[in-house]
Structure 1
Amino acid sequence: MTPPVIKETAPAAPLKSEPVKQGVPASKSQATPQATPMMAQYMEIKQAHEDCVLFYRMGDFYELFFDDAVKASAALDIALTKRGKHLGADIPMCGVPVHAADAYLSRLIRKGFRVAVCEQTEDPAEAKKRGSKSVVARAVVRIVTPGTLTEDALLDARDTNLLAALARVRADGSQTLGLAYADVSTGSFHVEAVEANALAAALARLSPSELVMHDGLLADELIADAIQGVGTPLTPLRASAFDSDNARRRLETLFGVKALDGFGDFSRAEIAAAGALVDYVTLTQAGAAPALSPPKTTSEQGLMAIDAATRQSLELTRGPEGGRDGSLLAIMDATVTAAGARALKQRVAAPLADPAPINKRLAAVTLFAEQTRLRGDMRDCLRGVPDLERALSRLALGRGGPRDLGAVAAAIKGGADVAALLDPQAGRAPDFPPLPEDVSAAATRLETTRTGSASALGVLLGRALVEEPPLLVRDGGFIAPGYDADLDELISLRDGSRKVIAGLEAQYRDQTGIKTLKVRHNNVLGYFIEVSATQADRMMDGELQETFRHRQTLANAMRFSTVELAELDAKVSRAGDGAIGREKELFDQLAAEIKAIPDLPDIASALAELDVAAALADAAQGNNWARPKIDNSLAFHIDAGRHPVVEAALKRQGNGAFIPNDCNLSGEGAIDEKTGEPARPVWLLTGPNMAGKSTFLRQNALIAVMAQAGSFVPAAAAHIGVVDRLFSRVGASDDLARGRSTFMVEMVETAAILNRATDKSLVILDEIGRGTATYDGLSIAWATLEHLHEVNRARTLFATHYHELTALTSTLDRLANATMRVAEHGQDIVFLHEVAPGAADRSYGIHVARLAGLPDAALSRAEEVLKALEEGDTGGASKGDLAADLPLFAAAPRPKSAGHAPSGPDPIRDALSEAAPDEMTPRDALDLIYALRRKLSDD
């Protein structure tokens, strides 16, 4: 499937935040006599953002016009209306409320749109001072794209949202690409060098929401093929954004350094990609500097390499329907925080390939698995911790609100509670083990929440904020009483007006003698007096008309005002506006205090790491997983391994326990403890369909992924020498978008395995060669198995229905035969789902066809053909004669009589051939039927 391509991003100039000049069209084509000043302003802004849907702020709505309105109304299923005319035609229009804009933005982004958000940049009252026809100044303050989202309403809280940039610098003589990727919602920022032939695997691992690149790179077939295969949405960016010298200066300016050497040793391509990413984020944020951490270098050398086909086959982070359900991640994820869930996904997507950090992670999980009370207390503390990473990012971008301030305060408190649990002086039992290295390091990072600058910030925020702050600053009411004297005075004046109004209402009733007189308020008249129409005459006669001025007449009432009410209205209005303004000032001060604390990102990462460790321990205890032994050997010995996803499904459905199986693919020098013989690292697995071959293959690959991600595994025991590359070729699929048949896809994936697998790799293959003629397929499977055994020397599980391959154990000393056990009862078979040494003698395909519901006639014919082919005898007939006989499968099967050959005498046929139906009486026909039944009984 070809990835969607977003049109080239406009240069920086149109995104500047200065107001657009009112009523000045951008081009002659738009300078029409029919364009109102407001519409001229709209068209000027739209011209600068032609590749976006423009959300044009008008009061409490974002309005869309022309083609944008037509497209958006269809995509959002909202009403399409019209507003005025342009060039003699109605102007299509639709709109969405500002307070609900996030929900509509989310739907548009999911459908592939980019949205330019155009806000009013001045008070409409100020615009009126320039004249009644003046247009409020407006400017695009942000472009919303899939990779630059920050709002919770637009994001999956438990998933990362990566923006990636790809660059190549040919001038340095290297063909290596630079790949930069960042999560704008959390500020994480990484770069890595990647070869073109490994780009697809890298993109599949990262799964970015948007990829920025110069479209000239698509001329490289390897790059274009990789991007098309993964399906990442593309955003072409101008070539100048990828100039490595400009990119370096851009990065140095962003991070306030003279050189980037302190952050790492970056290649020119990596710098070009990182600089282009920063440039793109700056463009989409209307010039605001992105809130990113300094870039960190990553390398595939420290990770288990997993290509895109293998990820899809094993369903590591996405299930069969594209979501989390049914994936390995869904089974492993017991995290209680959003940041922890994102961190766990990164571990599952990118397992490590270095025993040292893997064992550090396993030690942390072991602590929480063994210390049940500590784990429970830890998870209770973490449940109340909000998403600190994303709150910090929104505040840094100027897009935060009062709840983000509250999230920071709550996270600091949660961090302090967690730090207290991990304090060595916390009154633990004498036999409590020392904290593992990763847990101890996290506890150290959290210590500032108890005694450092973060603790002081937490106290400040606790004093400043109400218990449940509103979402938006403009809503007000988020600063606690007593925090700021000026604000308290303004609020007292605003709220105290209610008592003054009640007093005035009583005074006016006494003065007029009208007991039903009411003092009311609306946004048009402000405060006013309302009486019924029958009583209004009294207020318009004599001395009362000097005090009460008529304002408005309604059907059943009349409204009046007084000098006192007008003064009070102005005073209350000023107090209300002053209170909102003062709260905005206090918000900015508190946000600045937060930005001044550099430890907060470390606190967020420490909480996420502890959540992952405690969650994996909880999952291990609940699912009976064991700690694996991880080292640099060629071992791969799984004792009583289980498929984690299938086992969980069986448990949910109440369909019994999963049947475990051993697997020993350990390399040279290893001894199989059960047989006492040298272990064989290549297994040829035969057996019937539906017996569990694919499940067995996948479960061992998933166990390797779980172990190297730092998790316990579903097995009684496991010893794994780190797997450098994992390959899975299980299941059939095509790629018609690129003109690839199922067999072609199979061969491409097999070629990748044979070209890249090493002796430290793990390969699982199922039914290689099935998509072509029998002898072609057998030849390909034969050669593939020999190549894996002799050249790659990889640890391999090779499932096949080509029983001829089992003979290779006599010539390939590292190859072992294994089969799926089956129990037969007459014509019925029972799949035992057990793996045993040896080879299957047949595939039981017809039995499976019977279970699938094929007609009896087809099954009987299949048995005849199978028997003839297996015996190599077609009764004297050629295979062509046998094929010519195939139409018989549509008729009833031939009766088989014991002791009679199918070609011998047939008494029933003879009796029928001698009968003369036209000459029979009804009684004669009945007698014939009885005679035929007796002959059938005799036979």
Structure 2
Amino acid sequence: MTGQVTPMMAQYLEIKAQNRDALLFYRMGDFYEMFFQDAVAAAEALDIALTKRGKHQGDDIPMCGVPAHSAEGYFLTLIRKGFRVAVCEQTEDPAEAKKRGSKSVVRREVVRLVTPGTLTEDTLLEARHHNYLAAYADIRGEAALAWTDISTGAFHVMPCPLVRLGPELARLTPREVLVADGTDDAALMIIEEAGASVTPLAPSSFDSGSAERRIEALFQVKSLESFGQFDRPDLAAMGAIIDYLEMTQKGKLPLLRAPTRTLAQRMMQIDAATRRNLELTSSMHGGRAGSLLATIDRTLTAGGARLLEHRLSSPSTQIAVVQERHEAVSASLENDRLSNALRDALRKVPDMDRALSRLGLDRGGPRDLAAIRNGLAEAEHIHDQLAASGLPEVFQRAARALDGHQTLRSLLDAALVAEPPLLARDGGFIAQGFHQDLDETRRLRDEGRGVIAGMQADYAEQSGISSLKIKHNNVLGYFIETTATHAQKMLSAPLSETFIHRQTTANAVRFTTVELSDLETRILNAGNRALEIEKTLFQSLRQAILDENEAVGAAAAALAEIDLITALADLARSEDWVRPQIDDSRAFEIDSGRHPVVERALQKAGEPFIANDCDLTAEGHKAALTLLTGPNMAGKSTYLRQNALIAILAQMGSFVPAKSAHIGLVSQVFSRVGASDDLARGRSTFMVEMVETAAILNQADERALVILDEIGRGTATYDGLSIAWATLEHLHEVNRCRALFATHYHEMTSLADRMEGVQNATVAVREWDGDVIFLHEVRPGAADRSYGVQVAKLAGLPGSVVSRAHEVLDALEKGEREGGDRQKALIDDLPLFAATPVATPQPVKQSALSERLMDIHPDMLTPKQALDLIYELKALDEDGGTEIV
């Protein structure tokens, strides 16, 4: 018998053969079961028990399972560990299967492939972050990148040569990228470095001719011209996404919005290294906390939060767009009362985009209907507030999108209870009075329960057994239960003529009656009938929403826009940010600029942030570079970063942390700040630094803003100096951009006298008793030294090491003044390091004035005593105070 395959296992093997690259979640009753190698892999990944069930070809069959009601959490764990999941459901009622024969297996089918880019459930997604699925298509050297978030319906495409793929993936952070089989290894490496899952598809999925027909069919149009002009690579990338969605969603396509073609020239270009260095949307340590996004996020809705992340990741280079956004934030600031009223309403807005998407995929429930209802109710309220406000066009466009939903909102309001259940199968979500047949069926069901209670009282009186109960379970239905002690009475005449014995358990005996059986049939039919009516009504309400999906989606987008504008206004108001001036010049004048993330951290510690000016205004086609010197820990890196962040904030449409800001359009932002080894690719810290620097020098144009920190520090001093020197010259002569260049190579400060567009600046410090005090002020001029030994002392290096460093530094500086040979001789004459204990500090001498001050207890002084004390202390000070030990 061990060689035979059971009908159920034959079915499993057939379905598994069609889904070899995914873990098959095979539905059996209330569980999803996995078998063979799927079970071994899933048990290890999920940390659940691995068991066995039966044999196949003489070997035990490994098996594990998870409860169906909590499967979503297991999906997420598996997706994060790189698996794909094929969800196989029972698509036939077991009663129907039995009609084909007692050994017939219930029909099952894979209803969905769960992959990183196709998640829609709230429990699997971050509400404030997009979950993009992307596709990269290359047709004879011309390439495009398409991306969609099926949980919101966003659908975009842009031309994307290979050199732009890395920066665009860094901007979008997609979870999954589709590529054609045989895609170039360089592209695959870029995708993997971006942290996305790579999914290869057959080349036919990327066929541009088939793709065009696929897109037209999806959007039910005869031509795509109404959406814009798309090249062959654009069509191929979009078509691959649609083909993949048809495959993974098994024909239930999401509600995608009309595709939008994006051009790279309309966005500020920020590469992956710069995004990482500036910590735009995630910190160096990973995660959102500590990033610029987390610092400025005042949005109240999930849609608004996603829009904020999009704008911050893709600052605009269209001056009219930027100025329109600034005007909207300014109007929100000026209309303080209206802005607060709008924010109060926005707090009640649910995530309509994702509710709409789940309904479109038929994965929604009553709460998604309620989310649309509640969102449209707040949309109507906000529309009424905006209609007569006289606010700028951005608000007026939003107001128009929020109008015209009264019919759908009224339908949903009348149909749904205030707090519906999660699942339609639970019932109870249709309001009383909405559907006459449902109300009558519910009345029968509910009154039947009352009749059961009355029947129990009658039977208790008839039998004389007060403890008699009428109960229900799924096996027996309704039954009468009594204890074994009283059962004999009911089994004897005359009660045995009424009460029919059904079951005896260890502690009780169960009976039924003809009357109870008849009533059970009526009650059960009423309950099932009510549930069927509710399910039918759910589908009709779902369809009513889907018929208006474009209008509902536009309303959701309008609410997100209003949320973002009012959030940025709230940020500007509370943090004292100003509206920047953006124009087509090459100006860059920041008055008292601040780093928003560092300032927030200092506020929590109760410390002030020292604001600094920055002037990188370039004339004509000339460069404008500031060479910044100063010790470590003085704030050079903060100064560099804050000016880059101010430019990004300004062009995303936000106010900026400064007293004033005039910024000529910035087309690119490049940052080379800090570096670490890239062990996976065999790159040292210095190599990583050079690769990033090369990218800047090869790509930066006249409108770029470049910040460079400590170029050349990872190699020998003269090598590093020569590289830094040549880099600055290239930025000045070839790139001709605006740049901040921080360095410890003080020799480079002489370039300010030789190059017209270069100026020196330094971060001010003070020395006191051998220690260095950081003032964090950026001033014109050059630093005279690096104060490295003093900083090392602050870091806690042993005193003997600090003392030795001073000796070596003094010798080196003396030798440099006296010539190379003399320097070598002095170094040779230095005694070897002796790790002798640091001398015991001598007692600090105190003046008589200090001694007297230590004896004073201010809280115990009367006003007269305090005045006399002042005269006494003044006299001691004038005498110079005899020093005492």
Separation in 1, partners of 2:87, 2:774: 60
Please say if residues 118 and 140 of structure 1, whose CA atoms lie closer than 8 Å, have aligned partners that are also in contact: yes
Separation in 1, partners of 2:826, 2:353: 71
Q: For residue 445 of structure 1, what is the aligned residue in structure 2?
A: 401
Please say if residues 623 and 731 of structure 2, whose CA atoms lie closer than 8 Å, have aligned partners that are also in contact: no
Q: Does 1:756 align with 2:699?
A: yes
Separation in 2, partners of 1:372, 1:77: 53
Where 1:177 maps in the other structure, the secondary structure is: strand
Please say if residues 772 and 791 of structure 2, whose CA atoms lie closer than 8 Å, have aligned partners that are also in contact: no
Where 1:868 maps in the other structure, the secondary structure is: helix
Please say if residues 734 and 745 of structure 1, whose CA atoms lie closer than 8 Å, have aligned partners that are also in contact: yes
Per-residue CA deviation, residues 216-262 of structure 1 (Å, 9 max, x unaligned), is 1224x3x2442243232111111110011111111111111111111
Separation in 1, partners of 2:819, 2:15: 84
Q: Does 1:520 align with 2:490?
A: no
Per-residue CA deviation, residues 151-172 of structure 1 (Å, 9 max, x unaligned), is 10000000000000000111xx
Distance 1:611 1:544, change over 3 A: same
Q: From 695, 714, 727, give the equivalent of 1:771.
A: 714
Per-residue CA deviation, residues 430-458 of structure 1 (Å, 9 max, x unaligned), is xxxx311211111111122xxxxx21110
Q: Does 1:653 align with 2:605?
A: yes
Separation in 2, partners of 1:32, 1:204: 54
The Cα of 1:876 is off from its aligned counterpart by 10
Q: For residue 203 of structure 1, what is the aligned residue in structure 2?
A: 169
Where 1:888 maps in the other structure, the secondary structure is: coil
Distance 1:776 1:508, change over 3 A: same
Q: For residue 638 of structure 1, what is the aligned residue in structure 2?
A: 590
Q: For residue 48 of structure 1, what is the aligned residue in structure 2?
A: 18
Q: For residue 114 of structure 2, what is the aligned residue in structure 1?
A: 144
Per-residue CA deviation, residues 779-814 of structure 1 (Å, 9 max, x unaligned), is 111111011111111001000011110111111011
Q: For residue 206 of structure 2, what is the aligned residue in structure 1?
A: 242
Distance 1:518 1:748, change over 3 A: same
- Aligned AA (2:832): L
Q: For residue 462 of structure 2, what is the aligned residue in structure 1?
A: 511
Q: Does 1:627 align with 2:602?
A: no
Where 1:478 maps in the other structure, the secondary structure is: coil
Please say if residues 680 and 816 of structure 1, whose CA atoms lie closer than 8 Å, have aligned partners that are also in contact: no
Q: For residue 218 of structure 1, what is the aligned residue in structure 2?
A: 184
Where 2:137 maps in the other structure, the secondary structure is: strand
Separation in 2, partners of 1:763, 1:161: 31
Please say if residues 478 and 517 of structure 2, whose CA atoms lie closer than 8 Å, have aligned partners that are also in contact: yes
Q: Which moved further from structure 2: 723-732 or 499-508?
A: 499-508
Per-residue CA deviation, residues 147-204 of structure 1 (Å, 9 max, x unaligned), is 000010000000000000000111xxxx221110000000110000011111111111
Please say if residues 282 and 290 of structure 1, whose CA atoms lie closer than 8 Å, have aligned partners that are also in contact: no
Distance 1:49 1:885, change over 3 A: farther
The Cα of 1:893 is off from its aligned counterpart by 8.7
- Aligned AA (2:652): A
Q: Which moved further from structure 2: 74-83 or 881-890?
A: 881-890
Separation in 2, partners of 1:553, 1:883: 102
Separation in 2, partners of 1:164, 1:718: 37
Q: For residue 810 of structure 2, what is the aligned residue in structure 1?
A: 867
The Cα of 1:134 is off from its aligned counterpart by 2.2
Separation in 2, partners of 1:204, 1:501: 65
Separation in 2, partners of 1:408, 1:886: 80
Please say if residues 860 and 893 of structure 1, whose CA atoms lie closer than 8 Å, have aligned partners that are also in contact: no
Where 1:551 maps in the other structure, the secondary structure is: strand
The Cα of 1:322 is off from its aligned counterpart by 1.4
Q: From 531, 544, 561, give the equivalent of 2:495.
A: 544
Per-residue CA deviation, residues 599-635 of structure 1 (Å, 9 max, x unaligned), is 1111000000000000000011111111100111101
Q: From 579, 583, 601, give the equivalent of 2:534.
A: 583
Q: Does 1:614 align with 2:566?
A: yes
Q: Does 1:395 align with 2:359?
A: yes
Separation in 2, partners of 1:265, 1:875: 69
The Cα of 1:880 is off from its aligned counterpart by 6.3
Please say if residues 726 and 761 of structure 1, whose CA atoms lie closer than 8 Å, have aligned partners that are also in contact: yes
Q: For residue 872 of structure 2, what is the aligned residue in structure 1?
A: none
Q: For residue 915 of structure 1, what is the aligned residue in structure 2?
A: none
Q: From 267, 282, 286, give the equivalent of 2:231.
A: 267
- Aligned AA (1:217): T
- Aligned AA (2:750): A
Q: From 437, 441, 455, give the equivalent of 1:486.
A: 437
Q: Does 1:561 align with 2:512?
A: yes
Separation in 1, partners of 2:380, 2:785: 64
Count of aligned pairs: 837
Distance 1:876 1:573, change over 3 A: closer
Q: Does 1:465 align with 2:416?
A: yes
- Aligned AA (1:760): R
Per-residue CA deviation, residues 622-656 of structure 1 (Å, 9 max, x unaligned), is 111111001111010000000000000001122x1
Where 2:183 maps in the other structure, the secondary structure is: helix
Q: For residue 738 of structure 2, what is the aligned residue in structure 1?
A: 795
Q: From 673, 696, 712, give the equivalent of 1:730.
A: 673
Q: For residue 92 of structure 1, what is the aligned residue in structure 2?
A: 62
Separation in 2, partners of 1:761, 1:553: 86
The Cα of 1:566 is off from its aligned counterpart by 1.8
Separation in 2, partners of 1:70, 1:563: 52
Q: How does 1:35-434 map to 2 (within 5 A)?
A: 35-170=5-140, 175-219=141-185, 221=186, 223-424=187-388, 434=390
Q: For residue 922 of structure 1, what is the aligned residue in structure 2?
A: none
Separation in 2, partners of 1:767, 1:880: 27
Distance 1:308 1:437, change over 3 A: same
TM-score of the superposed pair, with normalisation by structure 2: 0.92
The Cα of 1:894 is off from its aligned counterpart by 11
Q: How does 1:710-749 map to 2 (within 5 A)?
A: 710-749=653-692
Q: Does 1:702 align with 2:702?
A: no
Per-residue CA deviation, residues 330-366 of structure 1 (Å, 9 max, x unaligned), is 1110000000000000000000011110010111111
Please say if residues 61 and 95 of structure 1, whose CA atoms lie closer than 8 Å, have aligned partners that are also in contact: yes
The Cα of 1:705 is off from its aligned counterpart by 0.6
Q: Does 1:832 align with 2:784?
A: no
Q: For residue 12 of structure 1, what is the aligned residue in structure 2?
A: none
Where 2:701 maps in the other structure, the secondary structure is: coil
Please say if residues 369 and 618 of structure 1, whose CA atoms lie closer than 8 Å, have aligned partners that are also in contact: yes
Where 1:147 maps in the other structure, the secondary structure is: helix
Separation in 2, partners of 1:877, 1:719: 52
Separation in 1, partners of 2:271, 2:547: 42
Q: For residue 863 of structure 2, what is the aligned residue in structure 1?
A: none
Q: For residue 392 of structure 2, what is the aligned residue in structure 1?
A: 436
Separation in 2, partners of 1:651, 1:668: 38
- Aligned AA (1:398): D
Separation in 2, partners of 1:730, 1:876: 33
Q: For residue 891 of structure 1, what is the aligned residue in structure 2?
A: 835
CA RMSD of aligned residues (A): 2.0
Where 1:639 maps in the other structure, the secondary structure is: strand
Distance 1:33 1:225, change over 3 A: closer
Please say if residues 175 and 195 of structure 2, whose CA atoms lie closer than 8 Å, have aligned partners that are also in contact: no
Separation in 1, partners of 2:819, 2:247: 79
Separation in 2, partners of 1:443, 1:503: 57
- Aligned AA (1:307): D
Please say if residues 664 and 680 of structure 1, whose CA atoms lie closer than 8 Å, have aligned partners that are also in contact: no
Structure 2, gaps ≥5 residues long? 840-885
Separation in 1, partners of 2:517, 2:446: 17
Separation in 2, partners of 1:34, 1:887: 87
Q: Which moved further from structure 2: 543-552 or 514-523?
A: 543-552
The Cα of 1:878 is off from its aligned counterpart by 6.8
Q: For residue 916 of structure 1, what is the aligned residue in structure 2?
A: none
